[in-house]
C-alpha cells in the first residue's frame, strides 16, 4: 500500500483553492481511492480523481456530515476562522482511526480552539512553506503535532515521499518562526511597494536601468500582490508574534536613519560586519545564491 493509500476515504474542505488542490492532486495521483472536495466555490474545471460538492463546511449538509463521519482523512485547507469553526464542530464526529489535518499558516488560535474538543481522531497541523504551484519536491513542510500517532506519521511519510523536507515544530515554535519567515518578510516587501507608490516612482521610466536588487524586490512584490490578499492578511493578523516582528522592522529603520545621520562611516562598517555574522552559521552560501539570481538577464524572462 502506498502512503497515500493509507487513507481510502478523503475529504478536503477548501479543495478548490490552491493549497487544497495541491493535496487533492497529490493524494489522487498516489492512489487514494476516494477523494471528495467540499467547497462553497465550484471548481474552475472538472476535478481529476475527485468528487466536488458545493457546500459550506461550517454548516455542512447531511451528505457532507455522513461523508466526514466515515472518512479516514479530513484536510482543512481553509482560512483560519473557517478551520476553527469546522474543527470544533466536526472533530467530535470523526471516527477512531481517522486523521484531521489543517494547513493554516498560523497555528496558535486553532490549537487553543481544539485543545478542549473531544475527538477519537488524530489531529495534525501542516504548513507548506512554498507557493502550492511549486509542488512538494524539494520544498519544506512544517508539521505541528497536536494529538498524533500512527496515522499522522503515515501522512507525514506520504508528504516526505513526495520529496518534501518535513520539519517538526510545536505550536509556539511554528508561529514564532513564521513571524520572521513570513510576516516580517512580506511586510518588508509590501512596505517597499508602499514607499514607491507614495513617491514619484515611474516604472516605465526606470525599468531599463533598474539594478538586479531592485528588480528582485519588484518580482517579490509582484508575487505577493498577484496572489489572494486574504492569505497574506491572515499571516499578519492571525500570528500572535507578527506585530512584534513588524515593530522590529520599524525600529530597525529608525536605527538605520540615526546611523546614517551620524555621518560616521565606521558605524556603518560595524553594522555590515554584524550582519555578516548573522549569515555565518549557515551551510548555504547566500551571496552565491544571490549571484545566481542576478544572472537572469532582464530581457530573457
156 or 44: whose pLDDT is higher?
Answer: 156
Strands 99-102 and 122-128: parallel
Q: What is the pLDDT of residues 64-104, one digit of tens each?
A: 999 999 999 999 999 999 999 999 999 999 999 999 999 99
Residue 267 to residue 273: CA distance in whole angstroms? 10
Q: What is the pLDDT of residues 12-24, one digit of tens each?
A: 999 888 899 999 9
What pLDDT is recorded for position 126?
Answer: 98
Q: What is the pLDDT of residues 231-246, one digit of tens each?
A: 899 899 999 999 999 9
Which helix (H) or strand (E) is 10 found in, with range?
Answer: strand 9-13
pLDDT > 90 in the chain, percent:
85
Strands 73-76 and 9-13: parallel
What pLDDT is recorded for position 46?
Answer: 63
Q: What is the pLDDT of residues 256-282, one digit of tens each?
A: 999 999 999 999 999 999 999 999 989
Residue 271 to residue 248: CA distance in whole angstroms? 16
b (16+ CB within 10 A) / e for 102-127: bbbbbbbbbbebbeeeebebbbbbbb
- β-strand partners of 127: 142
pLDDT at 4 over 60: no
Amino acid at each position: 500500500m502506498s502512503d497515500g493509500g493509507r487513507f481510502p476515504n478523503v475529504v478536503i474542505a477548501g479543495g478548490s483553492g490552491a493549497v487544497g488542490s495541491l493535496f487533492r492532486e497529490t493524494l489522487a495521483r498516489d492512489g487514494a481511492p476516494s477523494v471528495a472536495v467540499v467547497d462553497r466555490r465550484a471548481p474552475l474545471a472538472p476535478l481529476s480523481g475527485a468528487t466536488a460538492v458545493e457546500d459550506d463546511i461550517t454548516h455542512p449538509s447531511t451528505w457532507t456530515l455522513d461523508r466526514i463521519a466515515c472518512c479516514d482523512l479530513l484536510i482543512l485547507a481553509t482560512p483560519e476562522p473557517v478551520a476553527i469553526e469546522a474543527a470544533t464542530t466536526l472533530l467530535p464526529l470523526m471516527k477512531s482511526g481517522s486523521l484531521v489535518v489543517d494547513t493554516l499558516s498560523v497555528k496558535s488560535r486553532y490549537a487553543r480552539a481544539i485543545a478542549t474538543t473531544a475527538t477519537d481522531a488524530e489531529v495534525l497541523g501542516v504548513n507548506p512553506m512554498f507557493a502550492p504551484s511549486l509542488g512538494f519536491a524539494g520544498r519544506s513542510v512544517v508539521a505541528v503535532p497536536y494529538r498524533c500517532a500512527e496515522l499522522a506519521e503515515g501522512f507525514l511519510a506520504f508528504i516526505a515521499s513526495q520529496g518534501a523536507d518535513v520539519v517538526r515544530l510545536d505550536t509556539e515554535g511554528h508561529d514564532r518562526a513564521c513571524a520572521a519567515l513570513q510576516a516580517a518578510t512580506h511586510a518588508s516587501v509590501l512596505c517597499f511597494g508602499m514607499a514607491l507608490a507614495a513617491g514619484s516612482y515611474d516604472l516605465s521610466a526606470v525599468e531599463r536601468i533598474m539594478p538586479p536588487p531592485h528588480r528582485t524586490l519588484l518580482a517579490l512584490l509582484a508575487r505577493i500582490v498577484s496572489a489572494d490578499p486574504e492569505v497574506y492578511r491572515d499571516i499578519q493578523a492571525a500570528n500572535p508574534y507578527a506585530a512584534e516582528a513588524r515593530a522590529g522592522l520599524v525600529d530597525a529603520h529608525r536605527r538605520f536613519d540615526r546611523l546614517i545621520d551620524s555621518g560616521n562611516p565606521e558605524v556603518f562598517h560595524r553594522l555590515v560586519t554584524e550582519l555578516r555574522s548573522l549569515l555565518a552559521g549557515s551551510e548555504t552560501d547566500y551571496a552565491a545564491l544571490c549571484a545566481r539570481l542576478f544572472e537572469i538577464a532582464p530581457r530573457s524572462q
